[in-house]
Homo-oligomer: A and B are copies of this chain.
């Protein structure tokens, strides 16, 4: 096919700012967490993500809920980060009094509503009261629970971000709340934009085909694209191997395919994968960029992490990742030593005050 981009040259390269993952899932953050975290940040960085906000849930449940578990996670993580990163702390039914202690060391409070009966949600009022108003409360929540959490955000003047939106009623509720000046933003996972329950029957964590269409029709209401937990859930659903770094390598190929089909613009990608997540997480702008070859098959790259993927014959390759004043990845291969991880972690210091345990 011949279109504006293709017509220019046989292999067109687009430069984008480094991508920010507003929700990165690491399968484990315990003793074996060092390797999982290293592999996750390697996979994400080679795929163009220079920053990872780490979801405080692993395959075993909530992993970061207080100062003790935060310190523990940092021990496993330290020295193993290829990208910059920050941690979230998970809300549970009893830890509202511990939030004051950890809020300065984390970038968001994370509420995984799936873990709680909808009737429990009002009891999170104390969490909304305790959490600093300038940092987001990130909620993975639907219908009842979502409405309750938006109500809490409204009552407490909180900054709330709804992650992993998969249905149109939830998006309507969020859009309406935005219109009435609630401080609310949202993201859709990239897999949710390209895979539906029609593709994978029984995969209730994916949108229906109809809902997926509605998500595409309402892109202007969606602030960010995320990787999130969907790749992990899909692999689990299909009985495919669970490994660290699932989903990252598919992000640019899937999204660039949509740009190619005029369903997305490059400006959309920059807004939803860089500018908006940076603003939501309160990060400082770092100098980073990635070069994407729009027509190159990803199979021609030397990927540092091999993981299962539902995407076949992907086109759209991240040929270079530049961050922290140097090229860190070329043709999928790292051109730096492990040491860089530490430096890039330190880089987010300016955005998080009173930090200590992380660095």
> Which residues of A are interface residues toward B (Cβ below 8 A)?
118-119, 121-123, 125, 143-144, 147-148, 150-152, 154-156, 169, 172-173, 176-177, 180-182
Q: Which residue of B lies closest to A180 (CB)?
A: B155
In Å, the complex CA distance between A121 and B177 comes to: 13
Are A155 and B177 also in contact (CB < 8 A) when A143-B119, A144-B143 are? Answer: yes
Docked-complex contact A176 and B125, CB < 8 angstroms: yes
In Å, the complex CA distance between A176 and B156 comes to: 11
In Å, the complex CA distance between A177 and B151 comes to: 8
Q: Which residue of B lies closest to A178 (CB)?
A: B155
CB distance from A185 to the nearest CB of B (A): 16
Interface SS of chain A: helix
In Å, the complex CA distance between A118 and B119 comes to: 16
- Copies of this chain present in the complex amount to 2
**Cβ contacts under 8 Å, A169 to chain B:** 119, 122
Q: Looking at the complex, which one of B119, B121, B150, B180 makes contact with A156 (CB distance below 8 Å)?
A: B180
Interface centre among A151, A169, A177, by most chain B C-beta atoms within 10 angstroms, is A151
**Cβ contacts under 8 Å, A151 to chain B:** 147, 150-151, 154, 173, 177
CB distance from A121 to the nearest CB of B (A): 8
In Å, the complex CA distance between A229 and B144 comes to: 25
Task: Please give me the 8 A-B residue pairs with the lowest Cβ-Cβ distance, nearest first.
Answer: A144-B144, A155-B180, A147-B147, A119-B169, A154-B154, A147-B148, A151-B151, A122-B173
CB distance from A117 to the nearest CB of B (A): 9
In Å, the complex CA distance between A125 and B179 comes to: 10
Q: Which residue of B lies closest to A172 (CB)?
A: B122
Q: Looking at the complex, which one of B122, B148, B176 makes contact with A155 (CB distance below 8 Å)?
A: B176
CB distance from A315 to the nearest CB of B (A): 38
In Å, the complex CA distance between A147 and B141 comes to: 13
CB distance from A158 to the nearest CB of B (A): 11
**Cβ contacts under 8 Å, A176 to chain B:** 122, 125, 152, 155
Known interface pairs A144-B147, A147-B147, A148-B173; 9 further A-B residue pairs with C-beta atoms within 8 A, sorted by A's residue number: A118-B143, A118-B144, A122-B176, A125-B180, A143-B144, A144-B144, A147-B148, A154-B154, A155-B181
**Cβ contacts under 8 Å, A172 to chain B:** 122-123
In Å, the complex CA distance between A148 and B181 comes to: 16
CB distance from A170 to the nearest CB of B (A): 9
Q: Which residue of B lies closest to A168 (CB)?
A: B119
Q: Which residue of B lies closest to A181 (CB)?
A: B155
CB distance from A153 to the nearest CB of B (A): 9
Can you give 21 A-B contacts (C-beta < 8 A)?
A: A118-B143, A118-B144, A119-B143, A119-B169, A122-B176, A125-B176, A144-B144, A144-B147, A147-B147, A147-B148, A147-B151, A150-B151, A151-B151, A151-B154, A151-B177, A152-B176, A154-B154, A154-B155, A155-B180, A155-B181, A155-B182
